[in-house]
Structure 1
Amino acid sequence: MDAKIFRDTLAQFATGITIVISQNIDRHLHGMTVNSFTSVSLHPPLVLFCADNRSDTFRAIEDSGHFTVSILSEEQEALSQRFALRGPQEALFQSLTLGESVSGIPYLADSLAFLDCTVDRIVPAGDHHLVLGRVDALNRLVPGRPLVYYQSQYQRLDAIPEPQD
């Protein structure tokens, strides 16, 4: 199967954008942009995302057994791009407002919402791993519209009224 056709076809599916954060055994923070995030189960509360096998953040999740998911607003496109780059992780977290979850893993305090998760299981899947997490804590943080990715571009949901608290 042609990889470009595969990618172009899947680009027809709109996704939200999240930042997944964890820390390695040395307590260094690692984060990555994720659009393969979804809820799995209410009882128990489970979520899932896909992580590239080469990702430092994935290795940190394996080390710590915990991660947070921050759901980005449409105003946070630059953060999505920032965490999509490979390179020194320390620079990614400079000048960000972070909250600390129950597990001790930070989350983006100015995102729409966050989830604090414990790894339930990790399943190898080609050049990625499926990371299934049990949600231990979560909260809505700020009102706004989600950042959406569709047809390989960031999109806005202008037709949807902005949620109010």
Structure 2
Amino acid sequence: MNFGTYDLMKKNVFENTITKRKQAELNLNKSEEKQRILLEELRYRNIIATAIAKASSLFISPDKVDYQAILRTMGESISVNRVYIFEITGNGRTLSNTYEWCAKGTEPQIENLKELDAHLFSWWTNQLQDGKNIVIEDVANLSSQAAAEKQILQSQRIQSLVCVPIWAKGKKLW
């Protein structure tokens, strides 16, 4: 074997080693990023589960249900600006915001959301009557079927929301 061939082989081994090391580092970085994302998701799920557990314990209190405490617990736990409870009123013809918690600096809307015509919000009410959760990641992307909902949400500067039907003492509140 001549020295030129030996140097070429040594160079190839060296380059392959560096390439493999860089690939291993990239794989490790990707793996670490995936772990970080999963850990964040688990932390967030734990926060939500803890908030739900706290709120649930308030629902089963032998005293009168303290909706304000429930809303505050949920809002503070998941770091949102506002949490509402709407009730079906007027024999199902209207929706009224009966409870609201707002973070400091957030303007309450409870007085603006009384006795809303349920027929104007048919997309919303149909979802909830079917027992479906409403998850809106971007209010601006709501379909034309939800035009009334989009307008009222945007007037409150709401960008995203989650809404779930709830019942208390056998009564549908949502």
Per the shorter chain, which TM-score range?
A: under 0.3
* Highest RCO, 1 vs 2 (Cα 8 Å, sep ≥ 6): 1
**TM-score, normalised via structure 1 length:** 0.26
Question: Bigger radius of gyration, 1 or 2?
Answer: 2
Question: Normalized per residue, which structure has more strand?
Answer: 1
